[in-house]
């Protein structure tokens, strides 16, 4: 087995900044030794002299406009959950620890084209999610976690290769047990290497069996049973925005991050989705804005979905500024890579049908197909349907108009003849349509092809009950 450790040292600050492109000075503070001190700060704050450990009043003296948030452990938890959802595409065995993810990648290496390709891909995607990670690979989960924190960049695949890396790592970084700390102080041990050289029975006698067992798990001498993380059956993720947004275009940025997470979750279960629900949370207990985004076919490519989201935004009126953006997916479908490959256009071109999806996203219900319906009443002989879904059956005979008016229009009668931009001459025998008594919308009409002096041809009928003339269709 091969474990990838991903450690997120900046997580306390990232959870506040992920939703925005604002790079102005920002920091997270927490209580340390009874004082509010800076825990993490961004590059702009560091440039002005703010650094972790600095008391908050001192930081504000340096930078009065510093954006400051108290540490939010709950948000960090949720961010780790989102990271696990995203990472699900790379491993089906995943452990979550505070600020740390562990992925078993031994089984996925071939699928992703080897370790370098896989790590390269993960490292490229993390900034897009709004996170910075330190990576390490080891043959045990415990070692991968330790190395990701203490020796990022390490890649070891065996016990022998691991030992030199452990030599100088302070023992306290592996175990917070006070008895271990005491031991380290008492006999002047420093690194983990020193501890490993002590006989195990002696160690167990002094500090109990916990430490030797931990060392065995670290080296791979003993199994490391843990409860693997399980993905939720539905997807619902929120991204809180550090400042309220009132420009809908600015929603693309947080949307991309949510979509990357979604697509990781979808890929992890070999699925794709056709139905997305977006939630916009507004200030002051205003009701949430919720809108659905329906695609013409299941998809799971984040950039593609983002393009569709962008088009959907065109139809959106923001009732109020947005404080948080949520994405919910409840239905997914099995996704076949083969189908996707068949549908995809050659490199460089857009995927087949993408233009249609783009129209659909932007136009919504104003984009339709038309489907014939088996009914003898012209106004009921067709209905709107989804593009491409119409069946081709229609049993109409005789000469038919190409256009149908939305409502039959009453015609004037002059000298006993129906009139439309001139007296109408009836051509040919009538077509009698008498139907619909069963649904209360019965008609009894005689339809004629008619022509006026300007050679314009119309489809008109005489209502056999009321006797009036109506224009119903146009030829040509």
Partner 1 sequence: MAAPLIDKLVAEGVDRRLLWRGRELHSPGGDVVPSGWPVLDDCLGGGWPRGALGELLSRRGLGLSLALPLLARESGAGRWIGWVAPPQSPFVPALVQGGVDPARLLLVGERDAAEGLWAAEQMLRSGECGVVLIWPGHLTSAQIRRLQLAAGAGNAIGLLFRSLRDAAQPSPAALRLRLLPAPLGVEVEVLKRRGGWGGRRCLVPLRQR
The residue among 340 and 359 lying less far from partner 1, judged by its C-beta, is: 359
- The answer for 188, left when phi > 0, alpha when psi is -120 to 50, beta otherwise, is left
Dist CA 290 CA 269 (whole Å) = 26
Q: Are 183 and 206 in contact (CB under 8 A)?
A: yes
H/E element holding 117?
helix 115-129
- The answer for 416, left when phi > 0, alpha when psi is -120 to 50, beta otherwise, is left
The residue among 96 and 472 lying less far from partner 1, judged by its C-beta, is: 472
Q: What's the distance, CA 353 to chain centroid?
A: 21
Give the pair of three-digit tokens for residue 394. Answer: 């229609």
The residue among 282 and 380 lying less far from partner 1, judged by its C-beta, is: 380
The residue among 334 and 384 lying less far from partner 1, judged by its C-beta, is: 384
Give the pair of three-digit tokens for residue 319. Answer: 């009732």
Give the pair of three-digit tokens for residue 158. Answer: 């065996």
- Interface residues with partner 1 (CB under 8 A) are 352-353, 355-356, 358-359, 362-363, 366-372, 378, 381-382, 384, 387-394, 396-397, 400-406, 454-457, 473-476
Dist CA 100 CA 147 (whole Å) = 11
The residue among 236 and 384 lying less far from partner 1, judged by its C-beta, is: 384
Dist CA 372 CA 380 (whole Å) = 9
The residue among 153 and 453 lying less far from partner 1, judged by its C-beta, is: 453
Reference 335, options 266, 275, 277; nearest CA is 266
CB of 405 to partner 1, least distance (A): 6
CB of 432 to partner 1, least distance (A): 16
CB of 450 to partner 1, least distance (A): 13
CB of 464 to partner 1, least distance (A): 22
CB of 155 to partner 1, least distance (A): 46
H/E element holding 326?
strand 322-329
Dist CA 385 CA 368 (whole Å) = 6
CB of 343 to partner 1, least distance (A): 12
CA atoms within 13 A on the CB side of 226: 16
The residue among 318 and 474 lying less far from partner 1, judged by its C-beta, is: 474
CB of 396 to partner 1, least distance (A): 4
Structure-token match 């989201």, residue found: 309
């Amino acid at each position: 087995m091969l474990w990838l450790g991903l450690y997120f040292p900046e997580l306390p600050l990232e959870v506040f900044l992920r939703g925005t492109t604002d790079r102005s000075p920002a920091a997270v503070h927490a209580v340390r030794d009874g004082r509010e001190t800076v825990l993490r700060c961004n590059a702009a704050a560091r440039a002005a002299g703010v650094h972790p450990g600095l008391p908050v009043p001192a930081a504000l003296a340096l930078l009065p406009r510093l954006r400051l948030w108290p540490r939010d452990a709950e948000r960090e938890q949720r961010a780790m959950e989102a990271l696990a959802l995203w990472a699900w595409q790379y491993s089906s065995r995943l452990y979550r620890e505070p600020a740390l993810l562990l992925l078993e990648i031994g089984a996925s290496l071939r699928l992703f084209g080897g370790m370098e390709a896989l790590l390269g891909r993960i490292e490229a995607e993390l900034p897009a999610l709004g996170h910075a990670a330190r990576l390490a690979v080891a043959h045990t989960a415990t070692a991968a976690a330790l190395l990701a924190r203490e020796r990022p960049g390490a890649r070891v695949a065996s016990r022998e290769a691991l030992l030199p890396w452990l030599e100088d790592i302070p023992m306290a970084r592996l175990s917070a047990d006070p008895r271990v700390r005491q031991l380290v102080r008492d006999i002047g041990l420093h690194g983990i290497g020193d501890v490993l050289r002590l006989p195990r029975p002696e160690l167990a006698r002094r500090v109990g069996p916990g430490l030797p067992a931990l060392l065995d798990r670290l080296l791979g001498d003993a199994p490391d049973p843990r409860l693997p993380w399980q993905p939720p059956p539905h997807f619902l993720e929120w991204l809180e925005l550090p400042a309220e947004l009132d420009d809908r275009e600015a929603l693309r940025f947080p949307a991309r991050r949510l979509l990357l997470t979604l697509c990781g979750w979808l890929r992890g279960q070999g699925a794709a989705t056709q139905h997305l629900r977006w939630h916009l949370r507004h200030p002051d207990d205003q009701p949430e804005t919720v809108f659905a985004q329906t695609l013409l076919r299941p998809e799971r490519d984040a950039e593609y979905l983002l393009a569709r989201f962008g088009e959907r935004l065109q139809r959106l009126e923001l009732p109020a500024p947005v404080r948080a953006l949520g994405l919910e997916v409840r239905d997914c479908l099995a996704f076949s890579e083969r189908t996707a490959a068949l549908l995809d256009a050659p490199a460089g071109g857009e995927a087949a049908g993408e233009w249609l999806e783009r129209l659909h996203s932007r136009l919504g219900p104003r984009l339709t197909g038309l489907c014939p319906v088996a009914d003898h009443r012209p106004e009921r002989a067709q209905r709107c349907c989804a593009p491409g879904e119409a069946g081709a059956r229609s049993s109409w005979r005789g000469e038919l108009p190409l256009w149908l008016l939305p409502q039959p229009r009453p015609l004037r009668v002059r000298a006993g003849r129906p009139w439309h931009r001139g007296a109408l001459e009836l051509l040919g025998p009538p077509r009698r349509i008498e139907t619909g008594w069963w649904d209360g919308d019965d008609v009894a009409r005689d339809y004629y092809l008619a022509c006026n002096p300007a050679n314009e041809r119309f489809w008109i009928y005489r209502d056999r009950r009321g006797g009036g003339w109506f224009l119903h269709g146009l030829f040509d």
